[in-house]
Chains A and B, each alone.
Chain A
Amino acid sequence: GAVVSQHPSRVICKSGTSVKIECRSLDFQATTMFWYRQFPKQSLMLMATSNEGSKATYEQGVEKDKFLINHASLTLSTLTVTSAHPEDSSFYICSARVQGAEAFFGQGTRLTVV
């Protein structure tokens, strides 16, 4: 199957700083990528849909100025958590879809804000 690589897998940052998470489609081009957030023992919550060459579409309740998404190429989307606070600590997952229905997921990033 197609491979989606997410980096870093773990990151610890200080409160008030920004952190960038990368999501790459390694062997296919992805015009659309999705960013999810997952709290412990809970389901995946869609944060935004990232579209190559255009603005991301954010889900209701997600602060677009806090969670900046850039999809500058067909193989790379980035999520930047700006001015991070401890409540932003979570597990972030990206996914992309080749033509068809199956979505492929990155390995996830565990963000800890101290």
Chain B
Amino acid sequence: AQTVTQSQPEMSVQEAETVTLSCTYDTSESNYYLFWYKQPPSRQMILVIRQEAYKQQNATENRFSVNFQKAAKSFSLKISDSQLGDTAMYFCAFMKLPRGQGAQKLVFGQGTRLTINP
């Protein structure tokens, strides 16, 4: 079974700083997806960024980028120029590649509570 581990329960940085959230996972699969989701106080889950394991290039979305180390099974999220609106819970998630018509489930890490201070 796949497992996802986020070792930082809480983090806090000043506005405009850069912050990196850690995530490691365990799987025997060679092809899969990795995600970072954000859950603000509203509790609506929002996709931040996605990485396909077969792609060597790290995904980026504006201020958000990942450092994907497949051999080390590490998938960290870097937030540059952090903003007050980035304050949220961040979840790392793993998903096997879909097979046939079936949809694969997401396996979530424990989450990291990130606070951006003014």
Task: Determine chain B's interface SS by DSSP, over half rule.
Answer: loop
Q: Which of A42-68 contact B (CB under 8 A)?
A: 42-44, 46, 49
CB distance from B14 to the nearest CB of A (A): 23
In whole angstroms, how far apart are the Cα atoms of A1 and B52 in the complex?
Answer: 19
What interface size band does chain A fall in?
20 to 34
User: Which chain A residues lie closer than 8 Å to B110 at the CB level?
Assistant: 42-43
In whole angstroms, how far apart are the Cα atoms of A71 and B38 in the complex?
Answer: 27
CB distance from A29 to the nearest CB of B (A): 12
Asked if B47 contacts A102 (CB within 8 A), the reply is yes
Whether, in the assembled complex, A13 has its beta carbon less than 8 Å from a beta carbon of chain B, the answer is no
21 contacts between A and B (CB under 8 A): A41-B113, A42-B111, A43-B108, A43-B109, A43-B111, A44-B91, A44-B106, A44-B108, A46-B105, A49-B103, A49-B105, A91-B43, A95-B45, A101-B33, A101-B52, A101-B95, A102-B50, A103-B106, A107-B42, A107-B44, A108-B43
In whole angstroms, how far apart are the Cα atoms of A43 and B106 in the complex?
Answer: 12
Whether, in the assembled complex, B102 has its beta carbon less than 8 Å from a beta carbon of chain A, the answer is yes
User: Which chain B residues lie closer than 8 Å to A105 at the CB level?
Assistant: 44-45
Asked if A32 contacts B109 (CB within 8 A), the reply is no
Whether, in the assembled complex, A24 has its beta carbon less than 8 Å from a beta carbon of chain B, the answer is no
**Residues of A that sit less than 8 Å from B by CB:** 1, 31-32, 34, 38, 41-44, 46, 49, 91, 93, 95, 97, 101-103, 105, 107-108
Task: Determine chain A's interface SS by DSSP, over half rule.
Answer: strand
In whole angstroms, how far apart are the Cα atoms of A42 and B113 in the complex?
Answer: 10
Whether, in the assembled complex, B101 has its beta carbon less than 8 Å from a beta carbon of chain A, the answer is yes
Query: Which residue on A lies nearest to B98, using beta carbons?
Result: A101
Asked if B103 contacts A43 (CB within 8 A), the reply is no
Query: Which residue on B lies nearest to A107, using beta carbons?
Result: B44
In whole angstroms, how far apart are the Cα atoms of A107 and B110 in the complex?
Answer: 20
CB distance from A114 to the nearest CB of B (A): 21
Cβ-defined partner of B105 (8 Å) among A31, A34, A43, A102:
A34
